[in-house]
Amino acid sequence: MKRTFYFSVLVGFVQILQAQNIFPANGNVGVNTPYPETLLNVNVGAGGLNGTAGVRIGGLSNYSSLEFGIDGDYDGMIRSYGNNINYYAGHWKTKGSFASENHSHNWYTSKNGSSDWSSVKMILNENGNLGIGTSNPQNKLDVNGTIHSREVKVDMNGWSDFVFKKEYNLPTLEQVEKHIVEKGHLENIPSEKEVMEKGINLGEMNAKLLQKIEEMTLYMIEMKKENAEMKKDIFLLKTKR
């Protein structure tokens, strides 16, 4: 009798340890773990480099669901999909190395029934650079496409009002003409070739364009003064007749 009791206790203890779903009195729910530490504690095990681990929220495999997974190809994944005709409602993946501090996270997307995840749509690399439509961002934000924005604010280290200071050496119109004839563009303004190869810095270019506008304003003021002097001289000549 005593042996039977000990055997029953041992069997029950083993069953508790091996139970897949645990519902302790504290209200926590454990899946594949005997000691859930949170309201929902899912132990998917260690996938390893080539293993697979995942959590599915939803119905059977041929119905809509939300999955969190780790496998050999994609280290992190969240996707939703339709029924067994492989209609994809849209999904994205993250790919990176969780074992290293120097890693990047890649986002893949697919839609309109396609399961092609071959191209990276967005990447945040180990340097903190974000790329959209490019897999190799060289700046904090690289976008391979059109950006539509209501407003863009650019911080500047200076502005072009130095043109109006007395010590500014305003080029003569003869000097401006000479530079245009020799170089094919205004001084301090990049050539077409430079722009096509390197692009432009928006803030810097606006400052340079404003510099030219301010220089033209000074030319116009000077021309108005000269015209006023010419009108005065003409008037004096007429009155002497």
Query: Residue 83's pLDDT is what?
Result: 46
Mean pLDDT over residues 60-69, rounded? 52
Q: What is the mean pLDDT of the chain?
A: 75
pLDDT over 70 at 58, yes or no: no
**Residue entry with tokens 């191209």:** 119
Which residues face 53 on adjacent strands? Answer: 70
**Residue 24: what pLDDT?**
80
Question: What pLDDT is attached to residue 10?
Answer: 43
pLDDT in tens, 195-218: 999 999 999 999 999 999 999 999
> If you write DSSP's letter for every residue of 86-143 in order, what string do you get?
T---EEEEEE--TT-SS--EEEEEE-TT-----S-SEEE-TTS-EEES-SS--SSEEE
pLDDT band at 116 (very low <50, low <70, confident <90, very high): low
Percent of the chain exceeding pLDDT 70 equals 59
0.85 cut: is pTM over it?
no
Q: Which two tokens stand for residue 238?
A: 């007429």
Please give the pLDDT value at position 223. Answer: 95
Buried residues in 8-28 as b, exposed as e (16+ CB within 10 A): eeeeeeeeeeeeeebeeeeeb
**C-alpha neighbours within 13 Å on the C-beta side of residue 42:** 9
pLDDT at 91 over 50: no
Tell me 184's DSSP state. Answer: S
Q: In the predicted model, is pLDDT for residue 80 greater than 80?
A: no
**What is the mean pLDDT of the segment spanning 78-94?**
46
Count the helix, strand and coil residues of the chain and give each as a percent rounded to the nearest 5. Answer: 35, 20, 50
Query: Domain coordinates of the chain in residue numbers?
Result: 1-43, 46-146, 160-240
pLDDT bin (cut points 50, 70, 90) of residue 102 is low
What confidence score (pLDDT) does residue 219 get? 97
* 205 Rama class: left (phi>0) / alpha (psi -120 to 50) / beta: alpha
Rounded to an integer, the average pLDDT of 10-18 is 47
If one compares 88 and 52, the residue with the highest pLDDT of the two is 52
The per-residue pLDDT for range 30-50, each reduced to its tens digit, is 887 787 777 777 776 654 444
- 57 sits in which H/E element: strand 53-58
Query: What is the predicted pLDDT for the residue at 55?
Result: 62
Both structure tokens of 98: 């969780």
Mean pLDDT of 47-71: 52
